[in-house]
């Protein structure tokens, strides 16, 4: 395996974090956001109706349940491997070779990848932490959805993130509905969470293909939410950058920091 495949550094983590912050404040209260969303708001209506089927099922329900199902499958695979390794260590398995490659991905049906438990653990944590973190941020910022703004037929003023956050925390209903929560884009993170695959050491050679594919998936989900008036362009952009930052930072912890500390036993990625 390429020695660079598990080389992640704190400097890149910091750069990604800074890039995310630049996007947050660079697009804050942006007229570019307004101009883009006006393309989707015609004659007082959004191009797509919220809740309309089958689009809601295809672009909202299916991705969400696929991610949950895949996460559960990875967790079952991880636990199965732990149990098998425990049995092997106590002599219940006769051949070590039979304890790893054939069973490691039997549940998820990807025997050719042969992920280690560390890689599976990294995927589980990433797929859980990315959507959860963005959801928590969304509930804390109190930023209104475009469809709620007076600019697009709603009742709320168009406020910057700092003003929205302060108004929401203080419960100032005269300025903003404190129950609003539309920034960053949580649903798009369902797709962007898959960036974790780009940082798997075993898939290092395919990282650019994975990056492009995941970016397309995430922005497809984000565009759907923009077309129904739930998000601005910047909401999805920040969600994408946050997902990249979190997935890369976790890769740094799992594959670089852990490797430095594993002096007694090398990381088994085979």
Per-residue pLDDT of the chain (270 residues; tens, 9 = 90+): 455 556 899 999 999 999 999 999 999 989 999 999 999 999 999 999 999 999 999 999 999 999 999 999 999 999 988 877 766 665 544 444 444 444 445 445 554 467 889 999 999 999 999 999 999 999 999 899 999 999 999 999 998 888 887 766 665 555 555 557 899 999 999 999 999 999 999 998 999 999 999 999 999 999 999 999 999 999 999 999 999 999 999 999 999 987 766 644 544 544
Cα–Cα distance measured from residue 98 to residue 182, given in angstroms and rounded to the nearest whole number: 49
CB 249 within 8 A of CB 191: no
CB 245 within 8 A of CB 17: yes
Cα–Cα distance measured from residue 167 to residue 142, given in angstroms and rounded to the nearest whole number: 8
State the pTM of this model.
0.85
Cα–Cα distance measured from residue 68 to residue 225, given in angstroms and rounded to the nearest whole number: 20
HEC string of the chain equals CCHHHHCCCHHHHHHHHHHHHHHHHHCCCCHHHHHHHHCCEECCEECCCCCCCCHHHHHHHHHHHHHHHHHHHHHHHHHHHHHHHHHHHCCCCCCHHHHCHHHHCCCCCCCCCCCCHHHHHHHHHHHHHHHHHHHHHHHHHCCCCHHHEHHHCCCECCCCHHHHHHHHHHCCCCCCCCCCCCCCCCCCHHHHHHHHHHHCHHHHHHHHHHHHHHHHHHHHHHHHHHHCCCCCHHHHHHHHHHHHHHHHHHHHHHHHHHHHHCCCCCCCCC
What residues pair up with 42 in beta bridges, in sequence order?
45
Residue carrying structure tokens 């049995």: 87
């Amino acid at each position: 395996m390429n020695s660079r495949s598990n080389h992640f550094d704190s400097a890149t983590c910091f750069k990604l974090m800074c890039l995310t912050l630049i996007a947050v404040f660079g697009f804050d209260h942006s007229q570019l956001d307004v101009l883009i969303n006006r393309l989707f708001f015609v004659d007082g209506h959004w191009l797509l109706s919220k809740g309309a089927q089958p689009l809601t099922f295809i672009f909202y329900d299916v991705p969400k349940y696929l991610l949950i199902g895949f996460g559960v499958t990875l967790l079952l695979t991880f636990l199965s491997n732990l149990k098998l390794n425990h049995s092997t260590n106590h002599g219940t398995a006769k051949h070590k070779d039979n304890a790893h490659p054939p069973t490691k991905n039997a549940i998820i049906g990807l025997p050719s990848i042969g992920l280690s438990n560390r890689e599976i653990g990294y995927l589980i944590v990433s797929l859980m932490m990315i959507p959860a973190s963005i959801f928590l941020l969304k509930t804390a910022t109190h930023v209104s959805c475009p469809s709620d703004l007076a600019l697009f037929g709603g009742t709320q003023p168009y406020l910057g993130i700092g003003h929205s956050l302060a108004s929401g925390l203080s419960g100032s209903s005269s300025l903003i509905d404190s129950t609003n929560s539309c920034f960053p884009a949580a649903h798009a993170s369902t797709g962007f969470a898959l960036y974790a695959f780009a940082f798997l050491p075993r898939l290092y050679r395919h990282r650019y293909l994975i990056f492009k594919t995941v970016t397309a998936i995430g922005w497809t989900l984000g565009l759907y939410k923009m077309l129904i008036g739930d998000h601005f362009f910047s909401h999805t952009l920040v969600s994408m950058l946050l997902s990249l930052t979190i997935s890369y930072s976790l890769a740094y912890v799992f594959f670089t920091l852990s490797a430095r500390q594993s002096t007694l036993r090398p990381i088994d990625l085979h």
